Amino acid sequence: MREFDLAVIGGGPAGMAAAVAAKKKGLDNIIIFERDAQLGGILNQCIHNGFGLHTFKEELTGPEYAERYADMVRELGIPYETGTMVLNISDDRTVTIMSRERGVEGISAKSVVLAMGCRERPRGALGIAGYRPQGIYTAGTAQRLINIDGVLPGKECVILGSGDIGLIMARRMTLEGAHVAAVFELMPYSNGLNRNIVQCLDDFGIPLLLSHTIIDIKGKENLEGVVVAEVKDGKPIAGTEEYYPCDTLLLSCGLIPENELSRACGVDINPLTNGAVVDDRLQTSIPGVFACGNVLHVHDLVDYVSAEAAKAGESAAEFVRSGQTSGDGTTINLIPKNGVRYTVPNKFSADFPDNELHIRFRVTGIYKNSAIVLKCGGNEIFRKKTMIMIPSEMQDIAVKKDVLAQAREDVEIMIEGEAQ
Amino acid sequence: MTKELICICCPMGCRMTIELDGEKVVSVTGNTCKRGSAYAVTELTAPVRMVTTTVRTADGVSIPVKTKEPVPKERIFDCVSEIKKAEVTLPVRVGDVIIENVASTGIPVVAAKTVPCR
């Protein structure tokens, strides 16, 4: 059986950054398993720009960002196997892989970094009435078809969901010669960046219909059109139905961390993120198994993915070096309270090894001129003023070690201020 | 004449009102910071956009490309249609110039990915 110090599951931005960081921490025997034909993950199809402002201080396209990390992987001599599907990870860190070259093979790893990313919520999970004609794609599938396979899925398009991928695809379909009639968003606000609403919709005169959803899909073999209605309190309003003829429907309705392998391995999952429960080292409930990137919680900036994944890689290296599963200090839970939906990590060891702890979280509503507050035993231990926080933008605060070292019991994190 | 703009510089999304005298910006109100007024002036006098798309080799390999600098917004479609016609042969290195002066904008189009020979 082949043996490795670290097996990284997934060769996207998280997996590459984890492997690079582990190597730089002195870990030598690393392997990256990637199911696609190349490293880079979903960045390869994200040909728009806006990546890397934090990491490289310049605006890159997705493929450029991916290539920078793939180059680091190659320059550091880190082996990777593409076209390789990981079938199972057992709790003793035996990883079962399958590829054309090697067939089915079990390998043994002293540590594992989970970096499988996430997938899009499909039509079947949305509960829209109607047949199942061809012509319905998730936005990411259409993105791959156009940008990698060079195929335009259709000519007359509507988009459900106003997440950033949906907005980006509205522009992409338009530039490729399709007509995008509208983007429909169930909520009264968009989940996309203002920049994308302006540059992907307004620039091309594509309307964004808020508080609207698709209530029926017409067409049996091929998509013929959709019926759209205005929505109030989650229910369609009778009499507001409108028919949009179309041959293509793109869905941009949320992302779900892809944790089948983690679950099979027995990793505890946080129902709030659908990702693993982790400590300050990004270690899951199974010693030696770490998680980072979109499989841990869905990010909106790849820069944060890289930073988080580097931490997971360093932790794996330290685990292999010392064999230590956690710190000696008391484990303290981070409890999301008013206005905070979840946190990563979920807990930390009072003697965590770094100078500061990054706490990443999302807020539950729109907060202007508010503050992020940490309390322990009713006493405030940390406060940071913020101009604006919105649910679609992940927050990342760095809390100094000496602040958290005071904690003897659970630390509560909350937003002070009124949601709009 | 006045125009309304939503600022895209940060998630605040300030609703700005811009007073124009012909093409000239007279005043910007509603912005919270100076980035907002700078964006408003550019957006209303000479709006620019990065263009990203793909080119295909004769045997069908897609290569992502981008304009090296933002181009005037009204030239987006001209750029895309000229890029579509570009002929590319492998190998391509990231940063390679695919078109030197796209749609007479004076701006080059460069490859956004290294693609070796098949």
Domain parsing of chain A, residue ranges: 1-120+255-326, 122-253, 329-420
CA distance A223 to chain B (A): 27
A390 to chain B: closest CA residue: B11
CA distance A348 to chain B (A): 30
Q: Is the pTM of this model over 0.90?
A: yes
Q: How far apart are CA A344 and CA A219, in angstroms?
A: 44
Q: State the DSSP code for B54.
A: E
Amino acid in the structure at residue A418: E
The parts of chain B modelled with pLDDT lower than 70 are none
Q: How far apart are CA A368 and CA A227, in angstroms?
A: 36
Joined together, the tokens standing for residue A145 give 């078809």
- Position A415 scores a pLDDT of 98
Task: Annotate A253-284 with DSSP letters as a single string.
Answer: --EEE--HHHHHHT--EETTTTEE---TT-B-
- Position A328 scores a pLDDT of 62
Joined together, the tokens standing for residue A124 give 């079947």
The parts of chain A modelled with pLDDT lower than 50 are none
- Position B23 scores a pLDDT of 83
Q: Is there a contact between B114 and A48 if contact means CB atoms under 8 Å apart?
A: no
A1-120+255-326 and A122-253: same fold? yes
- Environment class of A310 (CB within 10 Å of its CB; exposed 0-12, middle 13-18, buried 19+): buried
In A260-299, which positions are buried (b, 16+ CB within 10 angstroms) versus exposed (e)?
A: ebbeebebebbeebbbbbbbbbbbbbbebbbbbbbbbbbb
Q: Is there a contact between A63 and B64 if contact means CB atoms under 8 Å apart?
A: yes
- With a CB cutoff of 8 Å and minimum separation 6, the contacts of A293 are A10, A12, A13, A14, A15, A115, A117, A299, A305, A308, A309
- Position A270 scores a pLDDT of 97
CATH number of A329-420: 2.60.40
Q: C-alpha A142: how far from its chain's center? A: 19
Q: Measure Cα distances from A41 to A14, A46, A262, A315 in Å.
A: 9, 10, 19, 22
Q: Cα-atom radius of gyration of chain A, to the nearest Å?
A: 22
CA distance A176 to chain B (A): 8
Right CATH for A122-253 from 3.40.50.1820, 3.30.465.10, 3.50.50.60, 3.40.50.300: 3.50.50.60
- Asked if A182 and A159 touch (Cβ cutoff 8 Å), the reply is yes
Q: Is there a contact between A388 and B112 if contact means CB atoms under 8 Å apart?
A: no
Judging contacts by C-beta atoms under 8 Å, the chain A residues touching residue B13 are 194
Which CATH superfamily hosts domain A1-120+255-326? FAD/NAD(P)-binding domain (3.50.50.60)
Judging contacts by C-beta atoms under 8 Å, the chain A residues touching residue B49 are 199, 203
